[in-house]
Amino acid sequence: MNETANFNAVSANTLFHFTPSLDNLLSILKNNFYPRYYPEDYSIFKDGMTIAFPMVCFCDLPFSQIRKHIKIYGSYGLGLSKDWGIRKGMNPLLYLSKDSPLYKEYLTAIPGLFNERWSDPDALKISTFIKRIRGDFYSKNLMTTLKNYNFTDEREWRFIPSDLDKRLSFYSSPSESELKSSNTALEKSKYRLEFEPSDIRYLILNKEDEIYEFLAKLDEIKEKYDFKTKRVLSSKILTVERIQEDF
């Protein structure tokens, strides 16, 4: 008997992106995703090493495990098909422990990792999909630092522009003004992660009483969402209130 089983799945067939505000969600629906520079702690390789590179982050957590993620990143989200993400070149992260043999093999295979000028661009591209297993992490949504945070719980996938050729920062964290100006420049660049309405599987709002306001604002995005499309999208709305009650 040849049968494909999907029981006990630990990941979703959806890639979720969460954001702190309704305006952010509407901007994504109107303009698609703009990659953003985010400082990443790479002290696993060298003390004080911080790299900021443009990315769009997702997770493939099922609804039963997504409450913690929502608290940390925001109560508004977009769920898109995993097939769409794979077509766009996304990949799940490799979570690396400094004590593992793989860590030592990685350093041996890519000696340019410690080159301050980063003469090997391929080393940077590979490293953008690596993250430490645990570490301190500041959540802007919670406005607090989470100590010894387990990053593997996030099941993160990333979109990185394929022709990425430089970092914003190397050994020190960029300032807020540097990040803001660099992100503004990205919005005017060719880098954009596009999707079609048919790729959307879920729209997540914070509260039930926001649905009418959301649909009214969605109605203003006329160039991308016609009447029929909006009717279909309205059936894909879930709220954090409902997730907390039913999952």
**pLDDT of amino acid 179:** 85
What is the residue type of 32? N
pLDDT at 3 over 80: no
**pLDDT of amino acid 153:** 95
Question: What angle in degrees, to the nearest 10, is found between the helix axes of 22-31 and 211-218?
Answer: 30
Band the pLDDT of 24: cuts 50, 70, 90.
Answer: very high
Q: Tell me how far apart the alpha carbons of residues 60 and 57 are, in angstroms, rounded to a whole number.
A: 10
Q: Tell me how far apart the alpha carbons of residues 123 and 130 are, in angstroms, rounded to a whole number.
A: 11
Question: Which tokens sit at 126?
Answer: 């590979």
**pLDDT of amino acid 113:** 61
Q: CA–CA distance from 232 to each of 15, 38, 98, 238 (Å)?
A: 19, 34, 47, 13
pLDDT at 190 over 60: yes
Q: What is the mean pLDDT of residues 162-179?
A: 68
**pLDDT of amino acid 111:** 67
Of 39-43, 47-51, 84-88, the one with minimum mean pLDDT is 47-51
SS3 91: strand
Angle at 78 between CA 15 and CA 161, to 5 degrees: 60
- Residues near 193 by Cβ (< 8 Å), separated by ≥ 6? 32, 33, 34, 35, 56, 88, 159
Neighbours of 234 (CB within 10 A): 13
Band the pLDDT of 172: cuts 50, 70, 90.
Answer: low
Q: What is the mean pLDDT of residues 21-28?
A: 95
